[in-house]
Structure 1
Amino acid sequence: MPAVVEIFTDGACRPNPGPGGWGVVLRYGAHERELSGGEAGVTTNNRMELTATIRALETLTRRSVVHLHTDSTYVRNGITRWMDGWKRRGWRTGSDQPVKNEDLWRELDAAAARHDVEWFWVRGHAGHPENERADKLAERGLEEARAS
């Protein structure tokens, strides 16, 4: 059985919409890596949640078995429940509206296709250690974006 890459992601935006940040904790065996970044312009929390997930998956240099943990039901439901329908309908929702954040959903679709990903939802701000770390990294990305 191949080793699993554990990924924990989070996004932050204040105000929403406004400047945003994202954070990632990656773990492969005893190895850990943290990533963060931000956008100084107007963005949304959902865009930052998606960006964290994309950047995490793009960081992996070879096909991997991934357990991806997010506190965003938007990200988890989008990739596991809604995306197939959006693609069938030409990136339109069930009510025939354009999919919000289509650009990032397309990036996530491509990034996830390069790996074997299992998606997990964790409750945010509930004491989960890696989710709390990802949250702090997202906050750091937000503060760096504001300072730029």
Structure 2
Amino acid sequence: MSKKKLTIYTDGSCLGNPGKGGYGAVLLFNEHRKELSQGYKKTTNNRMEMRAVIAALTELKEPCEVTLYTDSQYVKNAFTKKWIDNWQKNGWKTAAKKPVKNKDLWLQFIPLLEKHDVTFRWVKGHAGDPENERCDDLARTAASSGDLIVDEGA
């Protein structure tokens, strides 16, 4: 049986960096659409970009084939340029021998990427892509809402 194929768009936003932040995600499967968002009290833009992807992939109930669009080079390159593999080999140190930032979230990615076949695609932010713009709206609205939670690890 073949895996379900779906498309996911994600974005993170931070009002100040660090500051209040939020993420937005749009999951598209055939005619189905689901939107996710959450705001955080104090976080960073990179953490929100990462949390958007983690939330979207966690939402999937079975292994899927995913085309994931992000405007974050940080998130995309961690996988397409194999940064995460090198960080793990080097004991979670960068090439400059410094501790990898956001290790807690990278560790959440690993089992999700083992479960799902994810192809990362970069989309230029704020360039008119309707789904990327929707994710940005979701993220900004979440960051501005009264429903902010603590970003453990930030």
Q: TM-score, normalised by structure 2?
A: 0.91
Counterpart AA for 1:62: E
Contact 2:39 2:148 in 1 (8 A): no
Q: 1:142 Cα deviation (Å)?
A: 0.4
Q: Residues 135 and 94 (structure 1 numbering): CA distance in 2 closer, same or farther, change over 3 Å?
A: same
Q: 1:120 Cα deviation (Å)?
A: 0.3
Aligned length: 147
Question: Could you report, residue by residue, the CA deviation over 1:37-77 in whole angstroms, capped at 9, with x for unpaired residues?
Answer: 0111x210000000000000000000000000000000000
- Unpaired runs of 5+ in structure 1? none
Q: 1:145 Cα deviation (Å)?
A: 4.8
1:53 aligns with 2:56: no
Equivalent residue number for residue 85 of structure 2: 84
Equivalent residue number for residue 134 of structure 2: 133
1:103-114 aligned within 5 A: 103-114=104-115
1:22-33 aligned within 5 A: 22-33=23-34
- Unpaired runs of 5+ in structure 2? 150-154
Q: 1:79 Cα deviation (Å)?
A: 2.1
2:95 and 2:85 mapped to 1: Cα distance? 11
Equivalent residue number for residue 75 of structure 1: 75
Query: Identity of aligned pairs, percent?
Result: 47
Q: 1:3 Cα deviation (Å)?
A: 4.0
Question: Could you report, residue by residue, the CA deviation over 1:66-105 in whole angstroms, capped at 9, with x for unpaired residues?
Answer: 0000000000001222011001011110111100000001
Question: Could you report, residue by residue, the CA deviation over 1:93-139 in whole angstroms, capped at 9, with x for unpaired residues?
Answer: 01111000000011112222210010000000000010001101101
Contact 2:38 2:148 in 1 (8 A): no
Contact 1:24 1:34 in 2 (8 A): yes
1:44 and 1:103 mapped to 2: Cα distance? 14
Secondary structure of the structure 1 residue equivalent to 2:35: strand
Q: TM-score, normalised by structure 1?
A: 0.94
- Root-mean-square deviation (Å): 1.5
* Structure that is richer in helix per residue: 1
Equivalent residue number for residue 37 of structure 1: 38
Q: Residues 111 and 2 (structure 1 numbering): CA distance in 2 closer, same or farther, change over 3 Å?
A: closer
